[in-house]
Structure 1
Amino acid sequence: MRSIRKLSDEARSGIRSAYIITSVQQLTRELLDNAIEADSTQIQVLISLDDWSIKLTDNGIGIQKDSLAELGRSHMSSKKGSKGETLASISQLASLKITTRHASSSSTHTLITRAGHSVYFGLSLDGNRSSRGTVVTVTDIFANIPVRRKSLNKAREIHGIKSDMQSLALVHPEIAFELRNSQQILIQLPPKSHDTVSRFCEIFGYALAEHVEEINYHGSDHVVDGFMSLECAHSRAYQYIFVNSHLIVAGDLHSVVSTTFAESSFGVMANEPASMESIDASRRHAQRYPVFLLHIHIPSSILESTYDRHHRMFYIDNQASLSNTLKQLVIDFLVKYSFISPVAESYTSASNPRHSQATTLSKSVTANKRAVSDSAVSTQQSVRSVTSPQPSRDTKKAKNENASRTSQQRRTIDVHGINSTRTSKSDWLTNVLNKWNNPTYRLLKSTTATSVDSSESRRESFKLTKTDIENARVVGQVDDKFIMAVVTTKNALVAFDQHAVDERIRVERYLEALIRRDDIVLVDPPIGTLLTYEEMRTLGTNVETVEQWGFLIDIDIKPSQEHYGQVFVKTLPGVMHDRLIREPKLVQDIIQEAVARGMNESTTLNWHVMVGLCPPTLLSLVNSKACRNSIKFGDILSMRDCEMLLQSLSHTKNPYQCAHGRPTVNPLIRL
Structure 2
Amino acid sequence: MNIGHLEPSIKLLPDSLSLSITSQVNVASLCECTIELIRNSIDANSTFISVVFDIEQLSVRVTDNGNGVLPSDLENIGLPYHSSKWTPSGPTQTFGFKGSALASIASLSVLTVTSRHVTQAAAKSIRISYNHRSKVYSPRDFGPNHGTLIVVSGLFSRLPVRKKHIHETPVSLHLDALKQAILPIAITKPHVTISIHDSNNKSLLHIPSITTNLIPRHIMTLRAIYGSYIINRWQTVHTIVNGFDVKGTIAFDPARTKLAQHIIVNSKRLENFEIYKELNDLFTVIGLDLTTLEKRFNRNDLASLKLISQVETKFLLVTINSTSASGSQKCLAIIDQHAADERVKLEALFTETTATALANSSTPLAHPVRISLSDTDHHILAESVSLFRQFGIVYHLSSQKWKKPFVLLTHVPEIAMRKIIPTTETLDTKFAHKLLIGHINDVSKHRTSSALPDLSLHWSVAIRSFPVALIELLQSKACRSAIMFGDLLTLEQCKILISNLSNCMFPFQCAHGRPSMVPLIYI
With structure 1 as the length reference, what TM-score do the two structures score?
0.46
Please give the root-mean-square deviation of Cα atoms over the aligned residues, in Å.
Answer: 4.0
Q: Sort the Cα spacing of 1:517 and 1:8 in 2 relative to 1 into closer, same or farther, 3 A.
A: same
1:161 maps to which residue? 178
Q: CA deviation at 1:10?
A: 1.3
Q: Sort the Cα spacing of 1:100 and 1:599 in 2 relative to 1 into closer, same or farther, 3 A.
A: farther
2:457 is aligned with 1:624: yes
2:49 is aligned with 1:173: no
1:60 maps to which residue? 66
Please give the secondary structure, in 1, of the residue aligned with 2:148: strand
Q: Sort the Cα spacing of 1:77 and 1:385 in 2 relative to 1 into closer, same or farther, 3 A.
A: farther
Distance 2:41 2:162 in 1: 26
Q: CA deviation at 1:338?
A: 6.1
2:300 maps to which residue? 382
Q: In structure 1, which of residues 142, 146, 152 is the aligned counterpart of residue 160 of structure 2? A: 146
Q: CA deviation at 1:102?
A: 0.5
Q: CA deviation at 1:384?
A: 7.2
Distance 2:429 2:262 in 1: 23
2:210 is aligned with 1:210: no
2:465 is aligned with 1:547: no
| Residues 91-130 of structure 1: pairs in structure 2 closer than 5 A | 91-124=106-139, 126-130=140-144
1:18 maps to which residue? 24
2:412 is aligned with 1:520: yes
Q: In structure 1, which of residues 72, 75, 80 is the aligned counterpart of residue 81 of structure 2? A: 75
Distance 1:386 1:250 in 2: 42
Q: In structure 2, which of residues 440, 445, 453 is the aligned counterpart of residue 600 of structure 1? A: 440
Q: Sort the Cα spacing of 1:137 and 1:522 in 2 relative to 1 into closer, same or farther, 3 A.
A: same
Q: Sort the Cα spacing of 1:248 and 1:385 in 2 relative to 1 into closer, same or farther, 3 A.
A: farther
2:266 is aligned with 1:244: yes
| Residues 29-44 of structure 1: pairs in structure 2 closer than 5 A | 29-44=35-50
- Name stretches of at least 5 consecutive residues in structure 2 with no aligned partner: 1-5, 92-96, 306-316, 329-356, 361-383, 395-410, 420-427, 460-523
Please give the secondary structure, in 2, of the residue aligned with 1:161: helix
Does the CA-based 8 Å contact 1:169-1:199 persist in structure 2?
Answer: no
Q: CA deviation at 1:509?
A: 11
Q: Sort the Cα spacing of 1:4 and 1:395 in 2 relative to 1 into closer, same or farther, 3 A.
A: closer
Deviations 1:290-340 (A, max 9, x none): xxxxxxxxxxxxxxxxxxxxxxxxxxxxxxxxxxxxxxxxx7659996679
Deviations 1:562-612 (A, max 9, x none): xxxxxxxxxxxxxxxxxxxxxxxxxxxxxxxxxxxx65359xxxxxxx699
2:203 is aligned with 1:185: yes
Distance 1:541 1:35 in 2: 39
Bigger CA radius of gyration:
1
Deviations 1:323-378 (A, max 9, x none): xxxxxxxx7659996679xxxxxxxxxxxxxxxxxxxxxxxxxxxxxxxxxxxxxx
- Larger strand proportion of the pair: 2
- Name stretches of at least 5 consecutive residues in structure 1 with no aligned partner: 267-330, 341-379, 400-502, 528-539, 550-597, 603-609, 627-671
User: Structure 1 stretch 232-241 or stretch 114-123: which is displaced more?
Assistant: 114-123
Does the CA-based 8 Å contact 1:511-1:622 persist in structure 2?
Answer: no
Query: Bigger relative contact order, structure 1 or 2, given CA contacts below 8 A and separation 6+?
Result: 2
Distance 1:140 1:611 in 2: 28
Q: Sort the Cα spacing of 1:621 and 1:382 in 2 relative to 1 into closer, same or farther, 3 A.
A: farther
Q: CA deviation at 1:620?
A: 5.6
Q: CA deviation at 1:625?
A: 9.3
Distance 2:385 2:125 in 1: 63
Does the CA-based 8 Å contact 2:390-2:453 persist in structure 1?
Answer: no
Please give the secondary structure, in 1, of the residue aligned with 2:254: strand
Equivalent residue letter for 1:146: P
Q: CA deviation at 1:19?
A: 1.2
Q: In structure 2, which of residues 201, 205, 217 is the aligned counterpart of residue 196 of structure 1? A: 217
Equivalent residue letter for 2:230: L
Equivalent residue letter for 2:158: N
Please give the secondary structure, in 2, of the residue aligned with 1:216: strand
Does the CA-based 8 Å contact 1:175-1:190 persist in structure 2?
Answer: yes
Q: CA deviation at 1:234?
A: 1.0
Q: CA deviation at 1:36?
A: 1.1
Q: CA deviation at 1:123?
A: 1.8
Does the CA-based 8 Å contact 1:200-1:209 persist in structure 2?
Answer: no
Distance 2:432 2:194 in 1: 27
Does the CA-based 8 Å contact 2:301-2:323 persist in structure 1?
Answer: no
Please give the secondary structure, in 1, of the residue aligned with 2:75: helix
Does the CA-based 8 Å contact 2:77-2:102 persist in structure 1?
Answer: yes
Q: Sort the Cα spacing of 1:213 and 1:517 in 2 relative to 1 into closer, same or farther, 3 A.
A: same
Equivalent residue letter for 2:74: L
Q: Sort the Cα spacing of 1:395 and 1:223 in 2 relative to 1 into closer, same or farther, 3 A.
A: closer
2:104 is aligned with 1:89: yes
With structure 2 as the length reference, what TM-score do the two structures score?
0.58
Does the CA-based 8 Å contact 1:46-1:56 persist in structure 2?
Answer: yes
Distance 1:95 1:510 in 2: 46
Q: CA deviation at 1:191?
A: 2.3
Deviations 1:249-297 (A, max 9, x none): 3534433322312335x5xxxxxxxxxxxxxxxxxxxxxxxxxxxxxxx
2:13 maps to which residue? 7
Deviations 1:222-266 (A, max 9, x none): 0111311101111112112222333333534433322312335x5
Deviations 1:105-150 (A, max 9, x none): 11100011011121232222x2343101100000010012111111
Deviations 1:430-482 (A, max 9, x none): xxxxxxxxxxxxxxxxxxxxxxxxxxxxxxxxxxxxxxxxxxxxxxxxxxxxx
Q: CA deviation at 1:166?
A: 4.0
Please give the secondary structure, in 2, of the residue aligned with 1:548: helix
